[in-house]
Amino acid sequence: ADQDQKSEWYVSPAKGTTIMFLVEAALGKEHVITKDDSSLTRAPQGFDSVLALGKCAPPKSIDLSIDDKNVKVACGKPKAVAKAKSSNFDQNEFLIYHESQHRIRYVLAFDS
């Protein structure tokens, strides 16, 4: 997800603390969907990941250099995405299917 609110839907506090991970993900070529597809157990042939396109998303991204690699980081107050008006998803969700496609960068712990 490119918005923490989306990720919060998937976590439950334990003993008053919520823990989330901020990961770097290698998305490669994205297959875009606007409706839930429970048959997706891997990215379709020719694609590396799936983007569930949300109705709103951060309006821009910035380029950062981390460990001598250029990465894009979404930023800004979410805005409506014109091409996603009919999407079933409120916010973007990025689906990867191989553990090697991500690296945990930060562990976030906050009071619930």
Burial 29-40 (b: 16+ CB within 10 A, else e): eebebbeeeeee
pLDDT at 89 over 80: yes
> Would you state the structure tokens that stand for residue 40, as one six-digit string?
């997706």
Q: Tens of pLDDT along 6-19?
A: 888 888 888 999 99
Provide the whole-model pTM: 0.84
Question: How confident is residue 81, by pLDDT bands cut at 50, 70 and 90?
Answer: very high
Q: What is the pLDDT of residue 9?
A: 83
Residue in 1, 9, 95 with CA at minimum distance from that of residue 54:
1
SS3 state of residue 93? strand
DSSP for 58-84, please give it. -SEEEEEEETTEEEEEEESS-EE-GGG
How far is the C-alpha of 2 from the C-alpha of 77, rounded, in Å?
A: 11
